[in-house]
Structure 1
Amino acid sequence: MRSVVRGVLRHALIVAVVGLPMAIGTAVAQPNIPITRDLAGAKDHPLVPRYEGSFIIGYKTDRFAEVDIPLSPSTQISGTRRFEKIDAVEGARTRLLYVTPLERTSLEVMRNYKDALVAAGFEPLWECSRDRCGDAIERPFYEFNDGRRLTTDQVMAHAYSANITDQRLLVMRLARPQGGLVHVIVFTAFQDNVANKAASNRVAVFVDVVESGTMEKRMVTVQAPEMATNIGRDGRQAIYGIYFDFDKADIKAESKPQLDEMAKLLQANANLKVYIVGHTDNQGTLEYNVSLSQRRADAVVRSLAGQYGIAAARLTARGMGPLAPITANTTDEGRAKNRRVELVQQ
């Protein structure tokens, strides 16, 4: 098959193709403005090629964000259509919305993307097409997920807004040699755009790129004397310097400075007994997050007891999952604050 995806995938990245908000019950003008160039200021992600002849009509970047990666068909959960199984991936994010040339099929466009990604070393995680993706798979991407909406202008906002057919979703992942993962999710569908007829009657492609391991570490390690003061006053200390790989309970090496200070606190206060409490944001199911937070709390207890000689009887691990947030989970910043370990005085 002739490949018309141009460019070279040089590194790992996550591409999540997503639908955009639907204009239902809204009177939207339908100009026929020809699309002959990319959106001003937009550009291809350096690691992801575009389908030849496509133009960018939507574009947004975030220095650090959390993105839900669907790994199952969409379904009804508690009355809301969403994905039963997801991964939450964090990193630098770029979202790109393309319209392809006329008379292309969603199948042809998707096959070209998959061929290019496989050739670049990506491994498939999950893919689906049409009804096998669940009923109206484009809806969980935008209608119930504000984090995936591109609403800067009308054309961007109203992609996938009418006559959506032949939906296809591809999820792939690449492990970088230098560490970190790049996931790729590509969503293609034949669609109309109620904001601009020139963007209609053709395939639209939404690409969401998330590169893990790109967050600037700005949290200062909390020193032992400060922890002693805060626990004495508040009975607790929030810790952000304990790092875990995504979806795992293995403590990363860069956590050592904070573990050192926690050990100093406990060594200097021989009568202090604490709960080591794991907390997550609200992404994913309650049962899974509680289990993950418990495993991470257990890992901290094992580290303090095994590497620093703190008596295990002074340490009790508890996993709270998302049940005790310190702020709303409605933004990336809020979710980051809620993902933490706490020392709570017994």
Structure 2
Amino acid sequence: MRIKTLIHAAIVAACPAAGVAMTLEFPVNSVRVLDETETLGSYQLPLGGWEDDQIDALTAEGEVIRQVWRIPSTNLTTLQILGPLREQLIEDGYEVVFECKDWDCGGFDFRYGIDVAPEPQMHVDLGNYRFLSARMEGDDKDEVLSLLVSRRSDTAFVQVTIVGPSGAPRPNLTPSTKTQPTISPAGLSFDPTGNGLGVMLESEGYVVLDDLTFAIGSSTLSDGTYPSLAALADYLKTNPNRNVTLVGHTDAEGSLPGNVALSKRRATSVMDRLVDTYGISRSQVSAEGMGYLSPRASNLTDNGRNQNRRVEVILTPAE
């Protein structure tokens, strides 16, 4: 990790830090599941994504506050959660210094290169998370802050980390008292008769192809017609400058190497169907496997394991 340093005064003897505490409102049904404060600690604030086997970071020292908020039974996307929080930070005087989304951040490497609270308090889907770093400068109040937002099928998670001078007013982090607007789910379903897949792929960066089936123990896509593949093929033909990666996922039964290999073979089978049946250019599609490293539900139940066995399509940069 490439490190820069920002040191906050740990103790202000004669004149403690003054000012109005920041207020950050989370979605209305949010529940705080973790609240930790370290009077004098340090935090490495990412200033960029994973690059050259490291993360460009700034070391902030002072009082470190870390909270995790869980938003149950929500259909809000990670962007719909992060967006309002970003606006509140800017209104409070913060400057956003870095922001990224899962694969643009560096995927697996970025997530495991930053400080993340453990499960079950904080859950990070490697293919569906967003990260933001912000900084506020002042004569008597220098603060840095980060937000990590992710979700699984029925729950969203937000981790906020704040570093500021000891003695400064504690930030007011609270659920909103406003009514949350109703927003249709994204990333889980779409209308295959229209351009729903394309719209979701452009806005969210990924779509779960929930209608695909594989024979038990097989890595070959079963015969049949799949609306999701027809919609994806239409999108790729209409947008020849777009590239996608098909990512296979498994449940947690069996070894990690075996599951990674199986998930990649299944993704490759879907890619072959797109090329052979729908005439999609191989230059637009690639295949990868994550095994069980990115669950969207618990592997302790049959229903959860069924949800975790899936193939997703992710929008990737054109080479």
- Which structure: larger Rg? 1
Richer in strand (by share): 2
Normalised by the length of structure 1, the TM-score is: 0.35
